[in-house]
Structure 1
Amino acid sequence: IRHRGPDWSGCHVVKNNIFCHERLAIVGVESGAQPLVSEDGNYVLCVNGEIYNHKHLRKQLKKPHQFKTNSDCEVIMHMYDEMGTDLVNHLDGMFSFVLLDVKHNRIIAARDPIGITTLYYGWNSKMPEAVYFSSELKALNEECDKILAFPPGHLYDSETKETTRWFNPTWWDEHKIPTNPADLKALRESLEKAVHKRLMAEVPYGVLLSGGLDSSLIASIAVREAQKIANGTATEDDQFDESGPKSWPGVHSFSIGLPGSPDLLAAREVAKFLGTIHHELTFTIQEALDAVSDVIYHLETYDVTTIRASTPMYLLSRKIKALGVKMVLSGEGSDEVFGGYLYFHQAPDAAAFHTECVTRVKNLHTADCLRANKSTMAWGLEARVPFLDKEFLEVAMNVTPEEKLHKKDQGRAEKYIIRKAFDTSDDPEAKPYLPDNILWRQKEQFSDGVGYSWIDTLKAVSENKVSAEELAQAGSRWSKDTPDTKEAYMYRVMFEQWFPQPACTASVVRWIPRADWGCPSDPSGRAQKNHDQAYD
């Protein structure tokens, strides 16, 4: 997994524990090499991720502690020293970590609330007492005969050998329907704060810009917040690290698509409006097809939707890293939080709409978060996702679904409330966040927006590669997740070439369209019957 951390390789062995780490240096660049070992040798720590409130947490420590680095992650082991496993409830960030308490030979492993960073754990039946952890499946598949995705918002404790959920937000029960009216000011301010805290970096950074609502909003806020910080006009907040804009003036934006694709045209318009330093990558169908097998190797999934959307993102990430950028902001999560996918139009009622939103947010680690993390980290690039900020989710997930529903007769597009929260048309003195045609642009899934012929070609290629007889016999070859299309069959074969061990499929989850809502079997947004309907 060296692709995830090309800046440093570290290894530490103590008692019967081996810690290895491949580092991508973004904060504490000069001093933060891992594994981290406490000054007294009592704790060893490996972390993948970012702790945005690390400065605040250092100040909250009650005992004097000797910090060896400027890394945002080191505070984790000092917090464990004071409060044990309760430390996870105080972390604001995206993270997967494994910590060793040397004195008690105790292992603690934890993953962030939504699963923005990846984590797997596995076992070998010949050594049942051993537990293996890794950021990716490919480090475990030849050693373990049982491998699972470590669940988001959970903590493993070797003392009990149990994995328990520590993340318990107010919105977690999908059957508890909220009744709070939308607070547009709270939505706007909490998302602005989410972007602000994610500008923590000692290296060049940027934003992924598809030209759709989500990425455009993140880009717009990033430009505003970066300007405030760089100019010294930001509200003083010692809780968060503002190193990025202070070190790297100007916000870079990045987009990808086939020549003339909807995303490229929209992204170009947004970049010009915001004044970002814009970089545009066009790709050919053949370049994307050639990359699919490698994409599956990095994604470690055979899910059709994820592979379609990840391939352009994988190609773009390579270009971004070549430009010297190590961190990007991205717009994942908004469609799940606000019911933005076009199939949500088919929700039978508000309660079903909300239940689906919560379910999709809970499963983001199997799809969009997995894509955002692994497509970028394949090239040593880190993606941060403000829409999945803990505080923002507390606001957005507790809004009554009645206000999230698409209502064409009332002029309410999908994701109406987040659009309205950033609509300044009522205030002639206010500077607009986005052009109106972008703020109110209909949803395009990333795999559609980069160019419609991309998906059409994938279907055509699989049609030629997979025979009708092979598809008919798929059930005898794979009893779990039996492919139901030739495209799915093609991906499953590629996955098996990289990961032939039976244990590898246990961590894969497929996106299943809501057939009970009348949705087509093809997960593409363009397949939804309302894709071509314009809003009045």
Structure 2
Amino acid sequence: MGEILRLRGPDEQNIYQDDVLSFVFRRLSIVDLKGGSQPIWNEDESIFVSVNGEIYNHIALRKQLPGQHRFRTDSDSEIVLHLYEAFGVDVFSMLNGMFSLVIWDKNKQQLVMARDRLGIKPLYYSLNDDRLIFGSELKALLVHPDCPRVLKWSDLEQVGVQQKSEVSSYIEGVLHFPAGHYATWQPDKPLSFQSYWNIADSFNRGEDLSVADIENRYDELLEDAVQKRLMADVPVGLFLSGGIDSSLIAALLAKHNANVHCFTVVEKSTYQSGDVENAKKVTESMGLPFYPVLFDLKDMAQQFQLADLECMVGLIESPRFDPEWFFKSELHRTAKTEVPDIKVMLLGQGADEFAGGYSKYLGSEWRHWDDYILHDVKPSLKSHEQENKRVPDRFIQGLRDKDFIDKSISPYQQKMKALTYQLQYFNLWHEDRSSAYHGIESRVPFLDHRLVELLASVPEKHHQTLFWDKKLVRNTLRKHLADYPGDHKKVPFFVTDKRNSIQKFIIDITKNIYPTFITEYVNQSKSLFEKEDMDDLYLRLSKYNQQSEMAAWYLLERMSITICQEFCQNTKQFLD
């Protein structure tokens, strides 16, 4: 299991084993490079902690720690151990960070597991009779002989759509440890979960706040969140798209004289949208190192082979494929090539979900906030609840909204809650896996829980003023980067007003790899789908008409599912 995690933790491996627990930790050294080995034991070596992630407020927490404690390291992770000794499971609500962690108490023979509030860091587990298996990646579980390996077909939603509150692992009997929870386990007791954070607890807490109060507090918290995420004894980078979110991070980094390496994708769509020009101007004005990364989609499509799709399925650990994941992986690869010692990458992810980021963007049709709520938010909420309540399709048309939309909070607050699951399903999932594959840790300042709680507390009367077209974020950017174009539209990754380049990329890579897929999978009786069905899709995509892109997606999906089946059934051989 440890060997499988070598890319996520390339710097060190430590193993612990007793009569109850067998545990291996792979380390990516970022803080206290020489002294921060894990697991970290307490003074009498009766309790240890291991943390995948970062505790950003560890220095402040050390000052608050009561009693006498002897620290063995300067690692941010050790504070969890001593706080647990002092406060028990209340420790998790004290942490500002991203983490999946375990605490082992030898004397009690008790295991405590916890995951950060938004699910930024992954943690999988499986219960088989009395045996508990857990790990930071699905593949670590799959090499264990007791781990289930059967695909969960009922959870194979269309890529980009996740309506379920429980984020699937896509494997029967393997589960994601829920975000914002901790759990305890002992050999003679069942695994017991407890929530320590929920975004809903912050709804409507800001009724007395004015717009100015919220704007000032948002600015203060974001600057502090960015500064905290500079915590590292290694080089730090930023994926600077040139859009609003990453440009704001760059401006705040420069205030702290951070020598952060900025990487920007240069491609036809990013050039046409104005993002490349914005990124260059931001780095020049802030004095930040600028690395333009040229992406030629035509060339990338021609070079994309079946082995690349297999790599992406194993990397993402999912029967899904999206070109954004491949592009992000290539961006990490380039960053590592340009700055070999880089181990931390800041991202703009999470800025949209809770600040109106999807209310107005390039290609959207809504004219104002109420239009967005009526025609996008409310229908999506109804769909979300119908999915969670498993309403049969034949009853959906004509159902009244009142039974599916919570009237006690605003529609946008309900949308915020739904987006906490969407983040785990898509953005946070692929950002974590694509960075870890290249020995890099991704950090997301906009998902500091204090920022999320502030935005959730904004009363409905201020939603249009602050959230329509991301006004709150735009106004904050204007404070720190006055010459940034105020009317710059939100542009999704690799999107312009024409989708031709991405459409052609999907069609071309599918055409490239299908003949090899026939040889490697269909002819070897490994395919889960009939050859005639896939041949028909291949014929349709080859015509380059209006139906070609959808045919390519359907065929690519079938190949990804088949490859994932092989990945699950023969994990070690697949990855070798």
Deviation, 1:136, is 0.7
Question: Could you say which residue in structure 1 is the equivalent of 2:196?
Answer: 166
Maintained 8 Å contact 1:406/1:416: yes
Question: Could you say which residue in structure 2 is the equivalent of 1:203?
Answer: 234
Report the Cα distance in structure 2 between the residues aligned to 1:261 and 1:134, rounded to whole angstroms.
37
Report the Cα distance in structure 1 between the residues aligned to 2:91 and 2:554, rounded to whole angstroms.
42
Question: Could you say which residue in structure 1 is the equivalent of 2:385?
Answer: none
Maintained 8 Å contact 1:47/1:73: yes
Q: Which deviates more from structure 2 when the two are superposed, residues 451-460 or residues 52-61?
A: 451-460
Maintained 8 Å contact 1:120/1:150: yes
Maintained 8 Å contact 2:320/2:561: no
Question: Could you say which residue in structure 1 is the equivalent of 2:300?
Answer: 287
Report the Cα distance in structure 2 between the residues aligned to 1:472 and 1:166, rounded to whole angstroms.
51
Residues 458 and 95 (structure 1), Cα distance of their counterparts in 2 relative to 1, 3 Å cut: same
Aligned-partner SS, 1:10: strand
Maintained 8 Å contact 2:49/2:104: yes
Question: Could you say which residue in structure 2 is the equivalent of 1:253?
Answer: 262
Report the Cα distance in structure 1 between the residues aligned to 2:497 and 2:436, rounded to whole angstroms.
21
Residues 158 and 448 (structure 1), Cα distance of their counterparts in 2 relative to 1, 3 Å cut: same
Would you say 1:5 and 2:9 are equivalent positions?
A: yes
Unaligned runs of 5+ in 1: 228-244, 425-431, 474-483, 505-536
Matches within 5 A, 1:98-177: 98-124=102-128, 128-143=129-144, 144-145=147-148, 146-159=173-186, 160-169=190-199, 171=201
Alignment partner of 1:275 out of 287, 306, 313:
287
Would you say 1:367 and 2:409 are equivalent positions?
A: no
Letter in 2 for 1:154: H
Letter in 2 for 1:66: R
Letter in 1 for 2:474: R
Query: What's the CA shift string for 1:182-202, capped at 9, x where partnerless?
Result: 321111111111111111111
Would you say 1:221 and 2:252 are equivalent positions?
A: yes
Letter in 2 for 1:487: W
Report the Cα distance in structure 2 between the residues aligned to 1:440 and 1:298, rounded to whole angstroms.
37
Query: What's the CA shift string for 1:427-475, capped at 9, x where partnerless?
Result: xxxxx425331x43111112427995552124323764778934999xx
Question: Could you say which residue in structure 1 is the equivalent of 2:98?
Answer: 94
Deviation, 1:503, is 9.8
Matches within 5 A, 1:89-488: 89-124=93-128, 128-143=129-144, 144-145=147-148, 146-159=173-186, 160-169=190-199, 171=201, 179=207, 181-182=210-211, 183-224=214-255, 226-227=256-257, 245=258, 250-258=259-267, 261-262=270-271, 263-285=275-297, 286-287=299-300, 289-290=304-305, 291-303=308-320, 307-322=322-337, 323=339, 324-341=341-358, 342=361, 345=366, 346-348=372-374, 351-401=410-460, 403-405=462-464, 414-424=469-479, 432-437=480-485, 439-448=486-495, 454-461=501-508, 464=511, 469-470=533-534, 486-488=552-554
Maintained 8 Å contact 1:327/1:381: yes
Residues 415 and 492 (structure 1), Cα distance of their counterparts in 2 relative to 1, 3 Å cut: farther
Report the Cα distance in structure 2 between the residues aligned to 1:369 and 1:44, rounded to whole angstroms.
28
Identity, % of aligned positions: 29
Maintained 8 Å contact 2:235/2:260: no
Alignment partner of 1:47 out of 34, 45, 51:
51
Q: Which deviates more from structure 2 when the two are superposed, residues 290-299 or residues 257-266?
A: 257-266
Q: Which deviates more from structure 2 when the two are superposed, residues 73-82 or residues 345-354?
A: 345-354
Residues 60 and 216 (structure 1), Cα distance of their counterparts in 2 relative to 1, 3 Å cut: same
Count of residues paired in the alignment: 454
Query: What's the CA shift string for 1:387-414, capped at 9, x where partnerless?
Result: 111111121222235544499xxxx961
Matches within 5 A, 1:28-39: 28-39=32-43
Query: What's the CA shift string for 1:63-114, capped at 9, x where partnerless?
Result: 2112111110011111111111111011110100011111011001100000
Maintained 8 Å contact 1:95/1:112: yes
Residues 470 and 433 (structure 1), Cα distance of their counterparts in 2 relative to 1, 3 Å cut: same
Q: Which deviates more from structure 2 when the two are superposed, residues 495-504 or residues 361-370?
A: 495-504
Residues 170 and 347 (structure 1), Cα distance of their counterparts in 2 relative to 1, 3 Å cut: closer
Residues 344 and 451 (structure 1), Cα distance of their counterparts in 2 relative to 1, 3 Å cut: closer
Tell me the TM-score normalized by structure 1: 0.77
Letter in 2 for 1:287: M
Residues 209 and 164 (structure 1), Cα distance of their counterparts in 2 relative to 1, 3 Å cut: same
Query: What's the CA shift string for 1:288-319, capped at 9, x where partnerless?
Result: 63444322321123445xx2222221111112
Aligned-partner SS, 1:211: coil
Query: What's the CA shift string for 1:340-360, capped at 9, x where partnerless?
Result: 124694430783333223311
Report the Cα distance in structure 2 between the residues aligned to 1:503 and 1:154, rounded to whole angstroms.
30
What value does the CA root-mean-square deviation take over the aligned residues? 3.1
Letter in 2 for 1:200: M
Question: Could you say which residue in structure 1 is the equivalent of 2:392?
Answer: none
Letter in 1 for 2:533: E
Residues 362 and 494 (structure 1), Cα distance of their counterparts in 2 relative to 1, 3 Å cut: closer
Report the Cα distance in structure 2 between the residues aligned to 1:177 and 1:78, rounded to whole angstroms.
32
Residues 462 and 251 (structure 1), Cα distance of their counterparts in 2 relative to 1, 3 Å cut: closer
Report the Cα distance in structure 2 between the residues aligned to 1:121 and 1:471, rounded to whole angstroms.
38
Maintained 8 Å contact 1:89/1:167: yes
Residues 390 and 363 (structure 1), Cα distance of their counterparts in 2 relative to 1, 3 Å cut: same
